[in-house]
Amino acid sequence: MVPGERRERVVLRVTGADDGRHLLAVLGSPIEHSRSPQLHGAAYRVLGLPWEYTRAEVASGALPGFFEGLTPEWRGLSLTMPLKHEVLPLLVDRTETVDISGAANTVLLDADGAHGFNTDVAGIVGALRDHDVTDADTVHVIGTGNTAASAFLAASRLGASRVLVSGRRLDGIAALERLGDRLGVHTEWRLYGADMPVRADLVINTLPGDVDPDDIPEADLGEVLMEVPYDPWPTPRASRWTARDALVVSGLEMLLHQAVEQVRIFVTGEEGGRLDDEEAVVAAMREAVGLKLEGSADLEEW
């Protein structure tokens, strides 16, 4: 629990249907663009599970009401903006990664209540690993929201000694500076759009895809771009990097890897659990969203 934060816990009694059927969904606003139903649907078909995974439009402030309407068939929820922080008071427990990042994108529902996880960090690390990016000394994180905190954690796991934050909100920048202090990572910052070119081993952009980038193109030079948004695609930043033959890792690849970890949690009931025939499950999930086996996608095909 974050010191000084008051919480009202919502305890659910979710036990599952007698026939093994479960309901799951991705929640957020907007949500119609989400590819999560395709990813999860493919996984549960391979696993032979009679589970139904859908999407639901849930705006800021509406999550407690959604929880109140859950029935025993519900097994899990995937959360996107603006719900990753708003869910915290509704959880009976949460992982250390959720505590550190201040965001939960995954909720496991069982007889004890709602359990919070953050699979975004694993999603970023896994997507980069597919492209043989397993370490980075200097990382540039663009944005200051919940996903930016996960990106900062991913940078730490990649061994970063220095993280530069580009943001528009000073309070958001300050929060990431505190996170850097907690992780022992040197943190610097700049206001988004400032005339301050940055070179980094890895750039992670967490701004939504519909945000028109007003940063100067020279501000995000580097070896590798991890572009979290995937709709619309390609983003202007991804196009710039592709034009100069730099490596672009798409948000759809991150979505795949964080979804694989979610499926593990929903099926096994724990973080890091192994799935039966996991290789076939992951291959089906890739195919469902048009990702190549090696984890990359042609820009023109999206």
Q: Superfamily assignment of 22-119+258-301 in CATH?
A: Leucine Dehydrogenase, chain A, domain 1 (3.40.50.10860)
Backbone angles phi, psi at 83, to 5 degrees: -105, -5
Ranges under pLDDT 50 in the chain: 1-18, 295-302
Q: What is the DSSP letter of 153?
A: H
pLDDT for 219 equals 64
Residue among 280, 278, 279, 229 at smallest CA distance from 255: 229
Q: What is the DSSP letter of 215?
A: S
pLDDT for 93 equals 97
CA atoms within 13 A on the CB side of 14: 27
Domain boundaries, the chain: 22-119+258-301, 122-252
- Distance in angstroms (rounded) separating the CA atoms of residues 183 and 148: 14
Q: Locate 213 and state its tokens.
A: 């980038």
- Distance in angstroms (rounded) separating the CA atoms of residues 246 and 125: 18
pLDDT for 213 equals 59
Q: What is the DSSP letter of 302?
A: -
Predicted confidence (pLDDT) per residue in 262-281, tens digit: 999 999 999 988 999 999 99
* Residue 234, preceding peptide bond in cis (omega within 30° of 0): yes
Predicted confidence (pLDDT) per residue in 154-201, tens digit: 999 999 999 999 998 999 999 999 999 999 999 999 988 777 777 899
pLDDT for 208 equals 78
pLDDT for 214 equals 61
Which amino acid is it at 210? D
Q: Given this chain, do its domains 22-119+258-301 and 122-252 carry the same CATH topology?
A: yes
Q: Locate 94 and state its tokens.
A: 């949460």
CATH fold of 122-252, please? Rossmann fold (3.40.50)
Q: Locate 3 and state its tokens.
A: 């010191």
